[in-house]
Amino acid sequence: MECIVRFEVKYPEGNKQLRGLIWTGEDGHPTEDQLIQMFKDMKYNVRASEREQLQFVPLDPGAGYTSIRITELDTGKEKYTEDRDLKNVISTLMPKGPLGL
């Protein structure tokens, strides 16, 4: 089964929206290793930084980009899409500084 991966690469001059394709097993969900290999094939040598947010950072500190964030996983049957409205509401409600404990 195939999975279309849409992601955003953050560069200092602006973000780029890109996509890739992964051939997955029967369950249709790509593994972390498959995602890292897809990025490596696209010349992005990365490691997972925040697994919950599907975010990756470069292994090379001199890379021209700061991070990669997956915005959508489309298997044809089901689709994971980041809920930006919910993310904005949560970030508004969260305290900006450290808690005074």
pLDDT of residue 52: 78
The predicted model gives 35-54 an average pLDDT of 91
pLDDT of residue 80: 55
Per-residue pLDDT tens digits for 14-28:
999 999 999 987 777
Decide: residue 72, CB within 10 A, 0-12 exposed, 13-18 middle, 19+ buried.
middle
Sequence-distant (6+) residues with CB within 8 A of 68 are 7, 8, 9, 10, 39, 44, 46, 55, 56, 57
Check residues 90 and 92 and name the one with the higher pLDDT: 92
Q: What is the pTM of this model?
A: 0.72
Q: CB–CB of 30/5 below 8 Å?
A: yes
Burial 79-91 (b: 16+ CB within 10 A, else e): eeeeeeeeeeeee
